Homo-oligomer: A and B are copies of this chain.
Amino acid sequence: MHFCDYYDNLFSLEKQVFIIREHKLKKEVITVNIAILGFGTVGSGVYKIIKKANRQTQNLHVKHILIRKNKKPDFPEMTDSIDEILNDDDVDVVVEVLGGIEPAHQYIVEALKHKKHVITANKAVIAQYMDEFTKVSRENGVKFYFESSVGGGIPWIQGLERALRIDDVNKIKGIFNGTSNFILDQMHRTGEPFNDVLMQAQQLGYAEADPSADIDGLDVANKLCISVDIAYDLFIKPTADLPIFGIRNITEDDMAHFDQLGMTIKLMGVSHQVGNEFDYMVEPTLYYGDTLEAHTTDNYNLISLHGETIGVLKFMGQGAGQLPTANAVIQDILDIFQNKEHLKREFKSTFKYSANLTKHSYIVRSEIDCSTLFKKFNPSVRGDYLVVTDIPVGEMHRLMKQVLQKDETAFMASLPMKKGGAAK
């Protein structure tokens, strides 16, 4: 009666029956051996939760922790040899939490080829190589799971994949980045300038020394790519051609102005699907006070989907942070060993990316006069700002790049359609 992927499943089930029988004969406790690559915030969080051996995590065992070459090991599990981990047949799962592209990419591929399941929280490397990881994991009969990479502790990937069992998902929208949300929320509460608040975020450990991925929208872009890959079953690479606009240029005066308009600004990642086309955008977005987005404060994330039968679903929680992210990593491990298979990706969708599928209205601030540039879209001056109406999103981002070339301090934000409710 099991009707999905019968033959794949048959093999996996038979293997499990064999393993369970074998262990039953030996009457031993079955242990899942884990190697953690990297021992920063998330890596040490995974270690901490497993050591507590709570509830269903009791049989998880950290066998190796990969640390940097020549770094002194603090625990007996630590090693600086990736080969020791790859060649250890006892290792069932590799948890990659190094961050960055290389060597993370190479280690993931190698681990999969060594028939080890791979879990990663590293959104940058997944967004870049989702197609390769998917292919190599399938070829080697192992899993590649990444719940923690989008929305931290929020069960977003899981919720999205679940919705996709029944519905086409035709809208994804989210506050995907906790750091930028913290910065915008602090500026909103205190009226302080961007740079002061950024410094506070860095002191609190919310922002990196180089904050560009968070404040220029690249982190959101990666997370939106991953979500889009799953939702539409295609592979879209995060590139500079996509409409991505960050919050680096927002000033305390902008913030005060939006406040006067009764609106709150959030950095959003959004994608719509209509017929055979989809769009994709990362941009500062204004919300009225009657939305959940406007009240998603601190470093929280709020991610939504819309499906035909399910309607709107929103998930709010800790988008980053040691324990929430580590929790999501361990959920993936439990899924593997409880046979809770994630959605299969084939990347055979025929959906086409269309930069101008959706029209928005925008508020623009620039020292140069942009009225001529935006003349086709009813530009109207409102004090220090220009309002541009019903412009295709791709076109707006293209024109705004031209503005930035002449005025690198320019800022834009998309305007809400109308007063809405929780669901809009």
Contacts and interface: CB of A to CB of B under 8 A. Distances in A.
A349 to B, nearest CB: 13
A30 B49 contact: no
A422 B1 contact: no
A6 B307 CA distance: 36
Given A318-B311, A318-B312, A2 B339 contact: yes
Given A1-B19, A2-B19, A6-B20, A311 B298 contact: no
A44 to B, nearest CB: 13
Contacts of A131: none
Contact of A310 (B3, B13, B20, B318): B318
A350 to B, nearest CB: 16
A132 B95 CA distance: 41
A310 B16 CA distance: 30
A240 interface: no
B310 A323 contact: yes
A276 interface: no
Interface string A329-340: 011001001111
A59 B312 contact: no
A422 B311 CA distance: 23
Most buried by B among A19, A321, A341, A422: A422
B298 A423 contact: yes
Interface in A304-355: 307-318, 321, 323-324, 326-327, 330-331, 334, 337-341
Given A2-B30, A165-B55, A422 B331 contact: no
B321 A166 contact: no
Most buried by B among A2, A23, A297, A339: A2
Contacts of A19: 1-2
How often does this chain occur in the complex, in copies? 2
Contacts of A21: 10
A306 to B, nearest CB: 10
A4 interface: yes
A10 B398 CA distance: 58
Interface stretch (A99-107, A224-232, A288-296): A288-296
A309 B292 contact: no
Contact of A30 (B1, B168, B297, B310): B1
A54 interface: yes
A162 to B, nearest CB: 6
Nearest to A181: B422
B300 A296 contact: no
Contacts of A166: 49, 54-57, 327, 330-331, 334
A345 B414 CA distance: 48
B339 A326 contact: no
Contacts of A291: 295
A17 interface: yes
Given A289-B289, A295-B292, A327 B309 contact: yes
A192 B92 CA distance: 62
Nearest to A154: B313
Lowest 3 CB-CB distances: which A-B pairs, in order? A314-B316, A309-B323, A297-B421
5 contacts: A2-B16, A3-B30, A166-B334, A307-B327, A314-B315
